[in-house]
Chain A
């Protein structure tokens, strides 16, 4: 496998960080290939949860015709969207879950001394193997919902843009939530779990069924709405094209917020007592 080497003295910092990130992730993927049985168990359990999720929706819609005005195929679009962004996040930055244990064990030290952004090094230390099953099934639900809801192929570029924004929001929020462990010491990323739980339990239903306060918080305070609910509404023409501005703005805002949290966390980091 031919590797391109870059000169750390001349490369731009962004390109250098991207290269470190890519190599670190590829190294992890190689280690996964060494343990194929583990990969298949994890990927199958990821797929199983999505099959059960699909079964839940199918059973629900065998008994009712709409939830908050949303039909079967629109619900599949929503859940497919959530699964795609959530699964890809687990593939691309699952390492952030280990911030808590790295802080406790003083393992951030080692990363501060290396010539690459700390968060890039931490995020690329792990790949969530369940995500391979989740993304496959999530894509299947999304496509099935797309065809069933009769969406035009002309919307595909818009959908890709919205998926990219959703992914960035999800990754930024996950990083910020796990970075809370810089202050709240513990190996379990409880705030990360809260985010996952919010996405899997609250956001899988149209926000319209919740009280107004929940809708406002989930759209403008923690912009989860822009990572799934608003994009699917744009695709299904429930919202006007003007709303397309929302997801990129929310993505930029969450990245900025995550960067602030991580920086503040690194500043307050005082290594482990030895």
Chain B
């Protein structure tokens, strides 16, 4: 396992930094995409606000009253912007169009290079997330974090979404070695993330068995974990435990992807030539 996690020799941090920066700039170049991501995200937040205000009213559902739910939806807006912000397609296309064969000849580690690009690209949506969150904050006046420490830990847990989203995205693009197409896999992956994270409906509303199933998967950390820490549904120790679980998932997905990669590269098809 330790061997699986280590990068090949010769791959330096400067390469990661350069790849992340290029990816970041490339994403910022497409301003309409940037604009639409905030519009779509904002729109879904508005629908969420209307629907849940209607459903909760003066009462509470799943332990969330209307004040708590506003904060939950706002956190969901930030986390989903980050989770959908990565460019899975760019990674998938390298495998689908055979560019991966050339990548193998380069003195950089494929997985680390993709991770650097992914995080650089996803970072380009941070302005969207921050601007949207600030605007929504003034509009909807959500509840504050239970303690300042919980606020800090919420930010830490949200930052972990970057490597986690990479892990889930990278593992799903690995399937392209076998399927030779990505669209169906991407939709399925997006469905799992949206549902089991609590973006669609809070996990607390689900039946017990479904909650247990969700927590066996990496997805709840994409929304439920930051929201639970922020709203004080877990104490400080519980919050640290959840963040540790996120870190563990990052390591497990990273190592697992290495193991799959070793098998997958035997399937590389080089088109044309």
Q: Mark B162-182, 1 if CB is under 8 A from A, else 0.
A: 000000000000000001110
For the complex formed, measure the closest distance between the CB of A67 and the CB atoms of chain B, giving whole angstroms. Answer: 6
Residue of B nearest to A66 (CB): B55
Interface flags, A46-58, vs B, CB<8A=1, else 0: 1011001001100
Knowing A41-B179, A42-B183, A130-B184, say if A209 contacts B51 (CB, 8 Å): yes
Interchain CB contact under 8 A, B61 and A63: yes
Q: Which residue of A lies closest to B196 (CB)?
A: A52
A56 near B54: Cβ-Cβ < 8 Å: no
Cα A118 to Cα B88 with chains together (Å): 34
B205/A62 in contact, CB under 8 A: yes
Question: A132 CA to B55 CA in the complex, in Å?
Answer: 33
Complex contacts, B110 vs chain A, CB 8 Å: none
Task: Kindly specify which of A22-30, A91-99, A197-205 makes contact with the partner chain.
Answer: A197-205
Contact B201 A48 (CB under 8 A): no
A64 contacts B by Cβ under 8 Å? yes
Contact call A44/B195, Cβ cutoff below 8 A: no
Q: Name the CB-closest residue of B to A205.
A: B51
Residue pair B183, A49 in contact (C-beta under 8 Å) = no
A59→B55 contact, CB < 8 A? no
- CB neighbours (8 Å) of A56 from chain B are 195, 200-201
Give the chain B neighbours of A64 by CB distance below 8 A.
55, 61
8 Å CB contact of B187 from A45, A188, A202: A45
Query: Chain A residues near B105 (CB, 8 Å)?
Result: none
* Interface residues of chain A: helix, strand, loop or mixed (majority): helix
- CB A68 to nearest CB in B, in angstroms, measures 6
Interface size classification for chain B: 20 to 34
Contact, CB under 8 Å: B188 / A45: yes
**Residues on the B chain within 8 Å of A112, using CB:** none
With A41-B185, A42-B183: A209-B32 Cβ-Cβ less than 8 Å:
no
Asked if B47 lies at the interface with its beta carbon under 8 angstroms from chain A, I say yes
Report the Cα distance A145→B50, complex, angstroms.
Answer: 24
- In the complex, besides A37-B179, A38-B179, A59-B210, 12 extra interface pairs with C-beta distance below 8 angstroms are A41-B179, A48-B188, A56-B195, A59-B201, A59-B205, A67-B54, A130-B187, A188-B33, A190-B36, A201-B47, A205-B51, A209-B51
> What are 20 pairs between A and B in contact, CB < 8 Å?
A41-B184, A45-B191, A48-B188, A49-B191, A52-B200, A55-B195, A56-B201, A59-B201, A59-B207, A59-B210, A60-B201, A63-B62, A67-B54, A67-B55, A68-B54, A193-B36, A193-B40, A197-B44, A201-B47, A209-B54
Chain B positions within 8 Å of A, measured between CB atoms, are 32-33, 36, 40, 43-44, 47, 50-51, 54-55, 61-62, 179-181, 183-185, 187-188, 191, 194-195, 200-201, 205-207, 210
Q: Which residues of A contact B (CB under 8 A)?
A: 37-38, 41-42, 44-46, 48-49, 52, 55-56, 59-60, 62-64, 67-68, 129-130, 186, 188, 190, 193, 197, 201-202, 205, 209-211
